Amino acid sequence: MKDGKKRKIQIKYIIAAALVSVFSLFYLFDFLWAKTYKVEVVSVSDENPVASNGERVEIAVRVTHFGKPANGHVIFALPSDGRMLAFTTLTDENGVATLTYIPYTANAFLPVHDVEIRIRDQSNSIFWEINAYTDLELKMRAR
């Protein structure tokens, strides 16, 4: 192989390594930045709801950054079963957002089981989508 061709290949590898390094640093920064946010469940209207889509469970969540309320952050909630009235909402000036969970309806084909809801702050990332989050487990019960 000619020296010129070897040199071009080496330069390509150097550029690729530099890009991977830069993207890795961005990822590390966002990972550490997400750790400075705290998402916590403040209150749950019913931690042991009936497994029926006629029920509603109000969930209040607080987001803080370095201990101070995070205003205007997008909060996203995804349940393992059932659904949310709205999957996203915004925090207020106190860093609090309210979500409404609608349980699944238990029947012969879908027995009563616990539901886990992952609640995450979608506004804390800068380069990569690395979210601060918390999990809430609801102990469902039969009618």
Q: Residue 65: which of 33, 89, 28 has the closest Cα? A: 33
Rounded distance between C-alpha atoms, residue 82 and residue 115, angstroms: 8
Please compute Rg for the chain using Cα positions. Answer: 22
Q: Residue 57: which of 81, 90, 92 has the closest Cα? A: 81
Q: What pTM, to 2 d.p., does this model score?
A: 0.84
* 7: pLDDT strictly greater than 70: yes
Does domain 3-138 bear CATH number 3.20.20.70?
no
Domain-by-domain residue ranges, the chain?
A: 3-138
Rounded distance between C-alpha atoms, residue 130 and residue 39, angstroms: 13
pLDDT given at position 124? 86
Residue pLDDT, tens place only, 45-89: 999 999 999 999 999 999 999 999 999 999 999 999 999 999 999
Residue pLDDT, tens place only, 85-121: 999 999 999 999 999 999 999 998 999 999 999 999 9
